[in-house]
C-alpha cells in the first residue's frame, strides 16, 4: 500500500544509502533489488561549480529514485546548514537528512546543535529529516520546531546491533502517533527491520547492512521482504505476548476415549 513521506507518495518503506558498496555497479544492482524509492547521498565538500563527484551523481540519477542528501560528517550546526544549502543547489531538492554529530566514538547526534540547525533549515524552506537518538523529549522538540519526520537510531551507525532500546522506540511511536517515524542506523539484519516495522514505524533507513554484506544484492532483497512482512504484521495486528500458554486447539468438545479395565 502507498504511504506519504513529506510531500511525496511512495510504495516502498525502505530507504537505502549509497555508500560503502564494492563498486558502483553493485550499488546500482542492490538499490534496484531493494525496490527502495528514496536513496540517501552524501555531499562531499566540493564546489558545485567544479562538478565534484559528477560521475557518481549520474549513477544515482539513472535509478530514478528520490534523492535524500545528508549532512554526514558535520559536527556543528553551521557546518550542517552550509552543507544542506550546497546539497539543495547540487541535487535541486529541499529534502535534507540532517546529521549533526556530537561524539566521534559512537557518532551520536548532538541534540542541541541538531535542534538549532533544524530550526534554521526549516525557516529556509527545507523538509528536514533529522537523524536523532531515541530520546522522546528531543523528538518532541523537533516536531514542535516543524519536523514532519523524525529518524531515531536503532543503534549507533554501522554497528548492526539492531534495536538496542525497544522500550524507547515503542514510547516514541506511542507518543508521536501523527509523526512519520523512520528507524535510521544500527540495523544489521532483516529481522531487525521487521521488528521495527511490527512496532508501527513508517519505514527503515539503512546502508551498511546491505553494502557490507557478503552478497549486497541478495541482502537488499532480504531487507525489502522483511520490511514488507513487518508492515503487514503491524497492519494485521500482532497478538499480545502472554505469560501463560494458551492452546491453539480448543479442548472443549474434544472427543476422548475411556479404556475399560
Question: How many angstroms separate the CA atoms of 217 and 224, rounded?
Answer: 11
Is 119 among the residues known to form the active site? no
pLDDT of residue 197: 98
Residue tagged active-site, from 78, 97, 119, 170: 97
Question: What are the beta bridge partners of residue 96?
Answer: 128
185 belongs to an annotated ligand binding site = yes
53 belongs to an annotated ligand binding site = no
158 belongs to an annotated ligand binding site = yes
Q: Exposed, middle or buried by CB within 10 Å (0-12, 13-18, 19+), for 124?
A: middle
Instruction: Select the highest-mean-pLDDT range: 44-53, 92-101, 237-246.
Output: 92-101
The DSSP secondary-structure symbol of 97 reads E
Question: How many angstroms separate the CA atoms of 16 and 237, rounded?
Answer: 27
Residue 8 has pLDDT above 70, yes or no: yes
Residue 51 has pLDDT above 60, yes or no: no
Residue 144 has pLDDT above 90, yes or no: yes
Domains and CATH numbers, the chain: 3-236 (3.20.20.70)
3-state secondary structure of 125: coil
**Average pLDDT, stretch 97-125?**
95
Confidence label for 105 from pLDDT (cuts 50, 70 and 90): confident
Task: Give me 108's grid cell.
Answer: 551520536
Per-residue pLDDT of 179-230, as tens digits, reads 999 999 999 999 999 999 999 999 999 999 999 999 999 999 999 999 999 9
Question: How many angstroms separate the CA atoms of 153 and 181, rounded?
Answer: 10
Question: How many angstroms separate the CA atoms of 128 and 142, rounded?
Answer: 10
Residue 117 has pLDDT above 70, yes or no: yes
Confidence label for 45 from pLDDT (cuts 50, 70 and 90): very low
| Integer angstrom CA distances of residue 125 from 70, 87, 117, 119 | 16, 13, 13, 10
Q: Exposed, middle or buried by CB within 10 Å (0-12, 13-18, 19+), for 189?
A: middle
Q: In the predicted model, what is the mean pLDDT of the chain?
A: 91
Residue 255 has pLDDT above 80, yes or no: no
What whole-number percentage of the chain has pLDDT above 90?
77
**Average pLDDT, stretch 145-153?**
97
Poorest-confidence range of 43-52, 59-68, 163-172?
43-52
73 belongs to an annotated ligand binding site = no
Residue 103 has pLDDT above 90, yes or no: no
Q: Which residues contact 237 (CB under 8 A, 6 or more apart)?
A: none
pLDDT of residue 243: 84
Neighbouring CB atoms inside 10 A of 6's CB total: 16
Question: How many angstroms separate the CA atoms of 191 and 225, rounded?
Answer: 10
Task: Give me 42's grid cell.
Answer: 552524501
Alpha carbon 261 to chain centroid distance? 67
* CB contact at 8 A, 78 and 110: no
**Average pLDDT, stretch 163-175?**
97
Confidence label for 47 from pLDDT (cuts 50, 70 and 90): very low
Amino acid at each position: 500500500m502507498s504511504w506519504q513521506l513529506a510531500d511525496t507518495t511512495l510504495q516502498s518503506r525502505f530507504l537505502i544509502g549509497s555508500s560503502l558498496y564494492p563498486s558502483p555497479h553493485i550499488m546500482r544492482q542492490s538499490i534496484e533489488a531493494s525496490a527502495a524509492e528514496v536513496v540517501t547521498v552524501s555531499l562531499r565538500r566540493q564546489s558545485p561549480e567544479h562538478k565534484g563527484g559528477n560521475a557518481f551523481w549520474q549513477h544515482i540519477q539513472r535509478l530514478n529514485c528520490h534523492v535524500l542528501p545528508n549532512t554526514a560528517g558535520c559536527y556543528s550546526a553551521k557546518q550542517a546548514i552550509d552543507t544542506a544549502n550546497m546539497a539543495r543547489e547540487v541535487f535541486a531538492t529541499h529534502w535534507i537528512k540532517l546529521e549533526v554529530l556530537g561524539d566521534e566514538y559512537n557518532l551520536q547526534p548532538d541534540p542541541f546543535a541538531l535542534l538549532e540547525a533544524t530550526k534554521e533549515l526549516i525557516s529556509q524552506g527545507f523538509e528536514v529529516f533529522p537523524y536523532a537518538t531515541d530520546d522522546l523529549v528531543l523528538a518532541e522538540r523537533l516536531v514542535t520546531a516543524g519536523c514532519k519526520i523524525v529518524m531515531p537510531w536503532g543503534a549507533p551507525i554501522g554497528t548492526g546491533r539492531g534495536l538496542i532500546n525497544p522500550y524507547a522506540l515503542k514510547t516514541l511511536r506511542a507518543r508521536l502517533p501523527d509523526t512519520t517515524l523512520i528507524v535510521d542506523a544500527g540495523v544489521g539484519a532483516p529481522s531487525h527491520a521487521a521488528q521495527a516495522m511490527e512496532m508501527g514505524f513508517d519505514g527503515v533507513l539503512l546502508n551498511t547492512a546491505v553494502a557490507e554484506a557478503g552478497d549486497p544484492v541478495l541482502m537488499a532483497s532480504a531487507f525489502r521482504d522483511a520490511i514488507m512482512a513487518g508492515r503487514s504484521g503491524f497492519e494485521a495486528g500482532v497478538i499480545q505476548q502472554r505469560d501463560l500458554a494458551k492452546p491453539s486447539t480448543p479442548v472443549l468438545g474434544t472427543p476422548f476415549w475411556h479404556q475399560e479395565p
